[in-house]
Every structure is written in C-alpha cells, then in structure tokens.
Structure 1
Amino acid sequence: MSILSFENRGKWGKNSWRGNCSGHVYKTLFEQYQPRIFVDPMVGGGTSVEVADEMGIEAYGLDLHSGFNILRDSILQRVGKEADMVFSHHPYHDMIVYSGQVWGEPHADDLLRCTSDEDFMEKIQVALLNQRAATKAGGMYGLLIGDLRRNGQYKSYQADCIARMPKSELAAVVIKAQHNCVSDSRQYAKMKHMRILHEYIILWNKPQEVMVSILSDLAGMAKQHSTALRATWKAVVRHALITLGGKAKLEDIYSAVANAAPGQLAGNNNWQAKIRQTLQLIAQPVERGIWAI
C-alpha cells in the first residue's frame, strides 16, 4: 500500500517520547521487506527496535542521546556489519528540540538545532549517505520525514531529500497519515491553506552493483543548481571523513574522495583545492595536514 494510516501507535517504545512513530509503521515495513538485520540510527524512544525484536529481526538502535552522532560517526563501523535495512525517523528542523529539553544538555549536532533549512538539509544528506554506506548491496535505506509550513512558506523536506540522493535508487514513496499531534488541539483562525496532516516514508534500494560512483551520481544531479552542488561537496567530503573515523590526513581524504569518483575527478586539476576549501567549512585542522569533524 502507498498510503498508511494508524491511529493507534501500539505497545512499542516510549509513549512519552514526542514525535514517536507508530510501531505499526515499522511492522508494515518489516513485513514488506523482510530484513534480517535492521539499524535505526535515530532510534529515539526505541519503537523500531522493539518491533524488530518482537519479529525476530536482529536490530540495532543508535542515537545522539546514547552517544552516537550520525554526522560524525560511521553507522557501519559502530554496528560492525552491513544491514538489510537502515531506516530513520528524522526530526523536522526545529519543530521539536530534543537535546537540552527531552534529554541531556543542548548538543550542537542535534538536527533540531540547525541554523537554517539549508543547514538542516545538508545534514540530512550526510545522514542518508551514512545510512547508505551501512546498507548491504540490494538492501533498503530510507527515512520518515514530513513537510513544514512556517510564516506562510511551505518547506518540502521530502522533495529535497529525493533531490539530494541518487534518483536511480529511489524505490518507494509512501504517504503516512498523522494522528494524535499536539497541533490537533490548537485553533487555527483564518487559515489560507489546509493543515499538513501527513508524512512521507522514502525508501531507496542500494544497487547490487554500483555502476556509477555516489559522488558522480550526486554531482550529476546537482550541477543544475549551484547551491545544491556546494551542499553535495560538503556532504561527500564529510562522509569521507566519517568513513575514515572522523579524523584523517589530507592525503587520505583525497584518496577517499578520489576512490569514490575517479571519473568525476579525472582531468579536473582543481578537485584537491575544492576538497581543501570544503574542509575549511566543515572540519577543523587538529594537526598539520590532519583534519577532524
């Protein structure tokens, strides 16, 4: 089914965790795709892994509140194996702030503390690349995300997510109805547009054989829009650093990016300068010739 609606969130996870997704959504996904190994890198209140455990699926739940940072840490390295499905329920920019309010102290890498919508989407792209790297060939990776209207402007986060990932890998877009929202009890006077009462499940299928490098694919999609292209470079260089353990020599970063896109960089005499320029924006020099995120 391409439309899901569950008014009852079920017995799984913490009811008190704001923004928690119904466990029936995960149950439906697991029944459809039959993963043997599942990872949720933004596990929140634990709903997804509880459903997976009940269904006999080997499951791993990671989160910023338990010490895993999807913008700096490799999912694959933390779990130690590739998964059949890596699926996350991302926050929606600053709609609900978790660090410092729901748990612990304020954290700079809380996706709900991004400085702008563009900053938010750049980090979502980094997170999705991290998920993709932890997915087996032929496996599924994806997210649950909604859109947002602020000051009369509609922010289509799901459309941005689709635009920033390989179009050849897009497998499904499912509409999920929203129920039991805090906004349900509010009165909205003189609304010009209808309320947003749905979210999107977006799924990508990692190919059995990667015929085109991820950087080449992303750059090819982004070249029509300079802002998106800059965002792609940030995401790919950050992803290279994540796969290198979050800290690496400059020459190793060059190699990681070059191995990801030999065709894209061939004949381009400025690609190393572009990487250095990007590192200035997303990382810190910790020693001479060594960068860290």
Structure 2
Amino acid sequence: MKNIQGYQDQFGELTTLISVPERGKFGNANYRGNYAGEVLAKLVRFLQANGIQRPYIYDPMVGGGTSRDVAAALQLPHIVDDIHNGFDVVNDDFHDSGFDLTMLHYPYWKMIDYAADLPKELQGKDMSRMEWREFIEAVSHVNYKAAAHSRYVAVLVGDMAVKGGIKSIQREMAWPGQPVRHIIKVQHNAMSYRKQYTGKFIPIVTEHLLLFRTDYRQGGEMWILVPAQYKKIDIDAYVTWKTAVKNVIKQLGEITPATVFEGIKQRFPVKLQKTNTPEATIRKTLQQLEADGSIRRTTRGIYEVA
C-alpha cells in the first residue's frame, strides 16, 4: 500500500484506508478478536486536531483491554467495561454521559464464543450467541445508546463469511448520527491467513471502521439511518412483458402468439397470473417489438427475428 498515491503522505495518517501491521503493546495479545491500539490512537489524534485536546473515552466492550491501555498511555479520562465484569452492554446503563468518543468493537458473531467462561446467568446475555436478527437489533440499540452519551461514535466491525456469501454488520446496523468517514482497515494476522481455501473462495482481509458525529446534547434529537429491511420481492414484477417476450422468442423456431404464450407459461408463469388478457397483451407486445425492428412479420400472425 505504500505505492498508493495519497496513502498516508500528503493527507496525513488517517485516510479512508488504514493499515496497522503490528498490534502493538496495548491490550492482551492472547485475547481473540482484540484490535490494534494504534486504531484508537489515530482517532484520538483526529479529535485533538479538531479541538478536543483531552477526549473522554468510553468502551463498554473492552475485551482484551486495548482501549483502556491506549487511554491510560495517553493520559486521557476514560471508562471501560465488559461482560466479563458482569456488564450487559445491551440492557445496562452506561456509566456516564458527555463522552467525546465511544469506541465500539462488537463481537465476531458466531465466530468466537466469548461467553464460554462466563457464569450461566451472563451467557444468555452475550451478543456472540444471539441469532443474527437479534444480534443486529442489539448492535443498533447499543449504537443508539452510544450516540446518546457521546459526541463521536466509532464502530469497528468485520464481515463474516457464511455459506454462499457474507453477514455484514456495518451494512445492516443502524448508523447513529452523521457519518464522518467510512474507513477500510486492512486485517493483519487474521485466522483467514492461516487457512487453505479450495475453489473460488474469496478470503476476507479487511474490516470497517465507521466514525459518526452525533452532535450530542442532553435532551436533543438525532437522525439515524435505520437497518436494512429483509423482504422478498417478486422477480417477475421487475421483468416487463417486453423483456419477457424478447427472452422467449430467442428460443422459438416459429414466433406466433400461441408459441409465445407457451414460452411465457414456462418461463414467466407469474406474468400470466397477473393479467386477465394474456393473449391480447402478447399480441400487443409483438406489435411493439415489430415497431422497434426486433422482429418482422412474415405472414399474418407469424414473425421472425429481424
């Protein structure tokens, strides 16, 4: 990445692409999912460059202690907590308000069981064990809480490979406040580097660091971008009659209203269900295609591809 023009040169150290090859001295190196402390240090320096000289830091899911160690090393006021201290980030109250930056590094859903060593009463509250929809709702709820307590909110999350695709936290979670930047962070020493993949699998080697400005003030209101909604769509509703007929006639030796009707019946049956006059619609569509020059009439009611 040193060869990328503009990367950490004339624009400074914080750009929309960051790479921290060494995890550094901050936090417990043996804690799975720990992030490099330099990420938080970069955010702190960004806030300082924008007039917040001693930002008040909060991390309610501190895990291996990275945020705590960075804030302590920089001699910044901070509060941290974690489920291993008995703190339920979804349901418990945050310990203060008026933070300058809340750092949220969510669990790697289903990839790491953070609750395995917890008392039974806490295991059911751990986000890593939630079902996906419940997990996304919990992430969004915590984002709202962070925005209600802090001037800036930073969210560091990765995508997770599942059968046939990915689960993307950043895509589905609520975005709290004004997005300042969506930063791509290169992953170093991830588990994917230690695996041998077969076929055409695309390894995930990046994470998302999203920085939001909340314009925090007590008693204020804030706009948020709500999560994406899952819904089924009727594919045939997005395929016009003209497109459907053109698709069908490519496979026909003789193009007539009857042969097109049978082709539509096989390939686009929903279109027949949603019209009371399929034969008339097919005839009209064939006339449109003739006018476009896509087909030409040979004899009455019979066409060929132009």
When the two structures are superposed, what TM-score results if normalisation uses the length of structure 1?
Answer: 0.66
**Would you say the 8 A contact 1:91–1:111 is kept in 2?**
yes
**Would you say the 8 A contact 2:20–2:188 is kept in 1?**
yes
Which of the numbers 43, 59, 72 marks the counterpart of 1:29?
43
Rounded Cα–Cα distance in structure 2 between residues aligned with 1:211 and 1:193: 49
Residue 158 of structure 1: aligned partner = 170
Q: Deviations over 1:227-282 (max 9, x none)?
A: 7xxxxxxxxxxxxxxxxxxxxxxxxxxxxxxxxxxxxxxxxxxxxxxxxxxxxxxx
* Structure label with greater radius of gyration: 2
Rounded Cα–Cα distance in structure 2 between residues aligned with 1:58 and 1:223: 32
RMSD of aligned C-alpha atoms? 2.4
**1:131 Cα deviation after fit:** 0.9
Rounded Cα–Cα distance in structure 2 between residues aligned with 1:38 and 1:144: 15
Residue 96 of structure 1: aligned partner = 112
Rounded Cα–Cα distance in structure 2 between residues aligned with 1:84 and 1:128: 15
**Would you say the 8 A contact 1:13–1:46 is kept in 2?**
yes
Residue 289 of structure 1: aligned partner = none
- Pair 1:207–1:159, CA change in 2 (3 A): same
**1:45 Cα deviation after fit:** 0.8
Say whether 1:205 aligns with 2:220.
no
Structure 2: 5+ residue stretches without partners: 1-14, 49-53, 232-306
Q: Deviations over 1:1-58 (max 9, x none)?
A: 1111111100111111001101111111111113521000100011111111111111
Rounded Cα–Cα distance in structure 2 between residues aligned with 1:188 and 1:223: 32
Rounded Cα–Cα distance in structure 1 between residues aligned with 2:76 and 2:153: 16
Which of the numbers 16, 27, 48 marks the counterpart of 1:13?
27
Rounded Cα–Cα distance in structure 1 between residues aligned with 2:216 and 2:113: 38
**Would you say the 8 A contact 2:172–2:227 is kept in 1?**
no
Residue 128 of structure 1: aligned partner = 143
Q: Deviations over 1:149-182 (max 9, x none)?
A: 2002222221112xx234x511111111111112
Work out the number of aligned pairs and report it: 211
Rounded Cα–Cα distance in structure 2 between residues aligned with 1:186 and 1:110: 27
* Letter in structure 1 aligned against 2:188: H
Rounded Cα–Cα distance in structure 1 between residues aligned with 2:189 and 2:84: 25
Give the 3-state SS of the residue equivalent to 1:15 in structure 2: coil
**Would you say the 8 A contact 2:58–2:101 is kept in 1?**
yes
**1:209 Cα deviation after fit:** 6.3
When the two structures are superposed, what TM-score results if normalisation uses the length of structure 2?
Answer: 0.63
Which of the numbers 195, 206, 223 marks the counterpart of 1:186?
195
Give the 3-state SS of the residue equivalent to 2:143 in structure 1: helix
Give the 3-state SS of the residue equivalent to 1:196 in structure 2: coil
* Letter in structure 1 aligned against 2:127: L
Rounded Cα–Cα distance in structure 2 between residues aligned with 1:109 and 1:211: 29
Which of the numbers 64, 84, 93 marks the counterpart of 1:45?
64
Say whether 1:72 aligns with 2:91.
yes
User: Which is richer in helix?
Assistant: 1
Report 1:134-149 matches (<5 A): 134-135=149-150, 139-149=151-161
Q: Deviations over 1:175-199 (max 9, x none)?
A: 1111111232111111x24211000
- Pair 1:72–1:60, CA change in 2 (3 A): same
* Letter in structure 1 aligned against 2:30: S
Which of the numbers 99, 108, 123 marks the counterpart of 1:83?
99
Rounded Cα–Cα distance in structure 2 between residues aligned with 1:226 and 1:95: 23
Kindly indicate whether structure 1 or structure 2 has the higher relative contact order, using CA contacts under 8 Å at least 6 residues apart: 1
Rounded Cα–Cα distance in structure 2 between residues aligned with 1:20 and 1:63: 13
Rounded Cα–Cα distance in structure 2 between residues aligned with 1:61 and 1:13: 13
Rounded Cα–Cα distance in structure 1 between residues aligned with 2:24 and 2:159: 24
**Would you say the 8 A contact 1:65–1:104 is kept in 2?**
no
Shift >4 Å, 4+ stretches: 103-106, 208-212, 221-227
Residue 3 of structure 2: aligned partner = none
Structure 1: 5+ residue stretches without partners: 228-293
